[in-house]
Structure 1
């Protein structure tokens, strides 16, 4: 039988019943005889039927004796499901076969040893060597066959020998002291070249030899002499295995330095979920903490594989990762995740579980995610935004994946005397990227229409015709013009939130500035419509009349009669869709940034811009905020989650903390006074 036996059913024959219990034996065991009224043929048929059913793996036979002492045979057969519902787990086979890895280039699984050292007949379709293999549902036979092949064993042996031959430390140890010192200088410079390639995010293993020769050509004598001496044989220390070993050394050194700096320190914890090239879920972990020179930096700590996407599984993965790095999870003071419920839930999700083991940790939701979700939430109320997103994305795909159509588009732009530009992609999940895509669409609208007309006239493709209909929809065009206006102030807020050293204290003021600009935009639209001066306005929406005329000129009479495009005007669109959309966006932004941890908001009194102007007002300044901070960090914490209780002592003495904060605000006031006097004199 094959290992995949679920697809085979054995045909039962009469000889399979040999040695099995017969129906007559059931009668004997119950103390009775077979009734005489049964014929021999019927008995034989029943016997064969019973014997065959007894051979089934899931058959259950029950015998009941009736009042006339004649046995009643009951047969129940449980049908086995032929569907294999087991989930394929690639990690199981990768751990069992160390040579197995997933390659995104070949779109399959490869052998890391056979790919480096190919033995036997060279072929472009050799599984695991030059051709990626899809494992399927039962890959054990394929993997074991390759693992036991002679070519694979030869490649493994060759790899082991090559690793020992190119070991940098062994080569240095076997030479004389002078040669060792000389080689160290050479290797030191090669290490610097490797570090340069890594920081530039270039492929180090492929470009290493070229970079070393280039640096040597700039006048580095050690490398020049080394290359001359190595001209008779292959140059050492620049092969892929040596460079990989150097990269590992640099990685270990940097990791040791980071872990030494963060040890026993309080830090901010950052994490975000993503997927690798094999589409396996992983969590990127970063930490932000103060350095020895009192500067605050963010460091990447590593990736951790996620078996499940639940809060419990993510918490276990984080705890195991931090324990392996010798980092105390109780030292987390701030944590930042995205806004999904698994990460930000307050009942028993990730941020709640971290606050259970570190009660002084304060959760900060990613502000950029919140801002992006404000526009995403508008899609539910204004489905027209979904049509805009689909139109922009379809237009980008058509030109991105067709060089011929792109060439036509560039030619049309050149005919109009404009600089040839490509269509910008609008990310589906990041609506803030739509500003550039919308602006490019408006600036090249006439060229886009001519290109679509030319392509459709040649090939008559339905896809091109559908895009042509979408880009001549007046509501879609008007919405794109509206996005060009409303996304400008929103993008300014987004750039502020993406700043590495962002200060959250003035964030409410930046949010208010954004909402005020959106209110001013509504006022400008209403005043222009009242004065019948919308076409001469300074907004991007003022181009709406011109684009509508262009659409009418390019739409034949029959389609204009069938569609409601003629009934759409810029003024009616603003009153019915545009202005309500802006008001809803303002409400979404205010709701997204109105909430936050009270203790985090209390730190705003330390901002020098919030200090009072006179010394008399300084006494009462920040009293509520200081009490809130002292209450949070100066009292013990008790937290209970899922029946488990944690008691943590206070971080600071409340009296000392209150005294320090009161004296610090006085120092801030004096410092601001000195700075203002200095700038006044200068």
Structure 2
């Protein structure tokens, strides 16, 4: 039927004037229906029923389209904000004429008869305030071959006569438009283009999800195309063949866009927060680049929780000669400026406590306070605890000796499979155990990792050596007999009651410090956790000292040792020496911890009044005076730049709100505190943080306590621990490895944003980020699209613009007459590099045998 329709249009230079074009089955059904009228009544009834069923199964067509396709075309071709009329729309809307407003403004439109919009003229559409259009001609942008007029197509016809409609219906222009549409209907190329248009968004989202997964999994960016090809061929995802953006530049833009979208989402949440805090630290990567790793802490109004997210990774030495306080300060301030973050909301700054960070005269914290005097500087509690332990170990010489011996013992086995094998055999013989190959590997790995010196490594090292003390001595004895000097020296020092007793002492003390360090590294830690945790740890140490737990364990276990340790005996003199060492070590730890943590800020101490359990009841003494002094400290700090009169007025207002809030705490909030929060068993929050979050979550509090809300926002935004930049440094080193050592600064930062901040790619939040990235990537620039229309020769020489698809990707057909600027620039750079190498007498050779297998080198080639 399609071929018959096209042939008719070409030979007669006109289209059929009948309202409906039907296929042969429809014609047959109609003939059967006519013949059935001459039969008997019973035969007629059955035949009519069958004919009606067959007719209902055939969808009525209008030219090349059916009813639904015509309605869809109307929506695509015309602006929905305008009023337009068609037989397909007016029938359902019971529309019988133009609007009165249009007829009053344009009296000439009364000549248009709404009845002309019938099934015979299915192609006709009337747009109010414009005129008459033809659906087919408008879709294909029909132009007259001589005068280039586009009447009924781009230009509406305002000749409101039936003769104008009939003439256009029989014209060669209309016939050419119908012929073009018919050609597209049977064209494989057009079907492929249409299919590609339908799946383009879903294909891009799948590709972006794959790239997102690579970024989250520390996999090289260059693995994107191989992974896509694998998915297409193995899992038969045929739609991936429509992904044509496979150049290195496009792939680089995909990764960059994902990271930028992740950062935009982060900054959008930060800007809604009343305050934020900055955590920063320096880290050196595999390429010997000194980076400033920065995180940001804020209250997220969407999730109603405190969040700590990665913000930036900056190369310090790219613009400055050294990583001094001035350079770090300028980098932090420039990042805040680039991110459009208000410095007045900068509430807290946390660092590792190095002199360049916390120096009183010219440290980073001091320079930042010059920009925002209300900034609160915090020395990371994890680093302070580590310094306390280091000070204690330094003050007792034999504890230092123990650390050195443990490190040397680990080094003895680290790079010697032969010595490790001797140790494993000895351990099996002593403990009479049988291990398979996998178990042997696990034990070997555990021993290798046990002695590494980091925050928690000393405790793990002591625990490992204490548990395998006899096996270690047997191993050292075997190595001693073979002439190993290192093993001989270690055995002499380790085979003594003083060494063994110190191991028992450290075995009981170090877990207390390790638990405290782990608690300080929690994500939800805030200022109210510090003092209770410190006091608990000190009480545990005092209890160990009073009960002499290590000495009792040593006396119990010493008689159970084998022949190798039989000569190790504990007499009264040695017991007193160990007790003295134990007492000195515990007292040194308590004193150093107290000294390191006693200089906490008065402002942080004043924020402790927000603990609801500390607020007295109304009938208890001290209720009215509770918190007044602390409120004065907070007012002096946060309003120090105000004029005296303004400052006094704000202080009085804050005191008034605090007095009212105390009643609200006792009457409303205290009874609804969760039980796990009240008794301290909750691992996610405590009573102080719970109360501060209640202030921020309840929007009605903004009307009653407007002065306390900013204080609460600043309190939850002040970072207490600098553990996040340490985690960020680990992620950086997992990303920028030896084979990816040339990752550019921008690409590295974007990968870190997805790796650290990004949710799982299959989650709802992850898919939201991916869809936003796809939209941003498509809007960034024209992605090598061909023109929206293509000129083809229609019937009778009429020029027709064939609309292929807005998203068709093709190569340029024209001849390249100018040099490619990208190639020219690359050649110039290569020439400069060669000239520099010649002057500097540098040989042109790779750094290693693996250089050719390294990841892409720069931001474009990643």
Is 1:258 paired with 2:282? no
Q: Which residue of 2 aligns with 1:31?
A: none
Moved more, 322-331 or 444-453: 322-331
Change (3 A) 1:408 1:259: same
Is 1:634 paired with 2:635? no
In structure 2, how many angstroms separate the alpha carbons of the residues matched to 1:242 and 1:178?
22
The aligned runs of 1:132-281 (5 Å cut-off) are 176=193, 178-206=195-223, 209-210=226-227, 213=230, 224-226=237-239, 243-263=251-271, 266-281=275-290
Structure 1 residue 279 displacement after superposition: 2.5
In structure 1, how many angstroms separate the alpha carbons of the residues matched to 2:647 and 2:280?
27
In structure 1, how many angstroms separate the alpha carbons of the residues matched to 2:314 and 2:341?
15
Q: Which residue of 2 aligns with 1:407?
A: 421
Change (3 A) 1:669 1:408: same
Q: Which residue of 2 aligns with 1:665?
A: 662
Match of 1:328 among 321, 342, 351: 342
Q: Is the 8 A contact 2:232 2:238 kept in 1?
A: no
Structure 1 residue 483 displacement after superposition: 1.1
* TM-score, structure 2 normalization: 0.49
Structure 1 residue 271 displacement after superposition: 0.6
In structure 1, how many angstroms separate the alpha carbons of the residues matched to 2:581 and 2:485?
30
Q: Which residue of 1 aligns with 2:539?
A: 516
Match of 1:371 among 381, 385, 409: 385
Structure 1 unaligned spans of 5+: 1-174, 529-533, 556-564, 639-646
Structure 1 residue 226 displacement after superposition: 3.1
Structure 1 residue 284 displacement after superposition: 0.6
Q: Is the 8 A contact 1:544 1:570 kept in 2?
A: no
The aligned runs of 1:639-654 (5 Å cut-off) are 653-654=650-651
The aligned runs of 1:291-302 (5 Å cut-off) are 291-293=300-302, 294-302=304-312
Q: Deviations over 1:548-603 (max 9, x none)?
A: 98665479xxxxxxxxx998965133233121111111111111222211111111
Q: Which residue of 2 aligns with 1:158?
A: none
Q: Is the 8 A contact 1:605 1:611 kept in 2?
A: yes
Match of 1:492 among 477, 495, 515: 515
Q: Deviations over 1:94-135 (max 9, x none)?
A: xxxxxxxxxxxxxxxxxxxxxxxxxxxxxxxxxxxxxxxxxx
The aligned runs of 1:61-76 (5 Å cut-off) are none
Q: Which residue of 2 aligns with 1:655?
A: 652
Is 1:312 paired with 2:320? no
Q: Is the 8 A contact 2:207 2:228 kept in 1?
A: no
Structure 1 residue 369 displacement after superposition: 0.4
Q: Which residue of 1 aligns with 2:599?
A: 595
Q: Which residue of 1 aligns with 2:461?
A: 437
Who wins on radius of gyration, i.e. which is larger? Answer: 2
Q: Is the 8 A contact 2:352 2:383 kept in 1?
A: yes
The aligned runs of 1:433-472 (5 Å cut-off) are 433-458=457-482, 460-472=483-495
Q: Deviations over 1:405-461 (max 9, x none)?
A: 22222222222235753324444453x421121111111111112222233434x23
In structure 2, how many angstroms separate the alpha carbons of the residues matched to 1:547 and 1:309?
56
Q: Which residue of 2 aligns with 1:106?
A: none
The aligned runs of 1:65-144 (5 Å cut-off) are none
Change (3 A) 1:612 1:216: farther
Q: Deviations over 1:149-183 (max 9, x none)?
A: xxxxxxxxxxxxxxxxxxxxxxxxxx945413323
RMSD between aligned residues = 3.4
Q: Which residue of 1 aligns with 2:370?
A: 356
Q: Which residue of 2 aligns with 1:531?
A: none
Change (3 A) 1:479 1:306: farther
Q: Is the 8 A contact 1:634 1:657 kept in 2?
A: no
Report the secondary structure of 1:653's partner residue: helix
Residues matched between the structures, number = 466
Report the secondary structure of 1:585's partner residue: helix
Structure 1 residue 286 displacement after superposition: 1.1
Q: Is the 8 A contact 2:275 2:347 kept in 1?
A: yes
Change (3 A) 1:602 1:397: same
Structure 2 unaligned spans of 5+: 1-191, 677-862
Change (3 A) 1:622 1:500: same
Q: Is the 8 A contact 1:633 1:650 kept in 2?
A: no
Q: Which residue of 2 aligns with 1:289?
A: 298
Structure 1 residue 184 displacement after superposition: 2.5
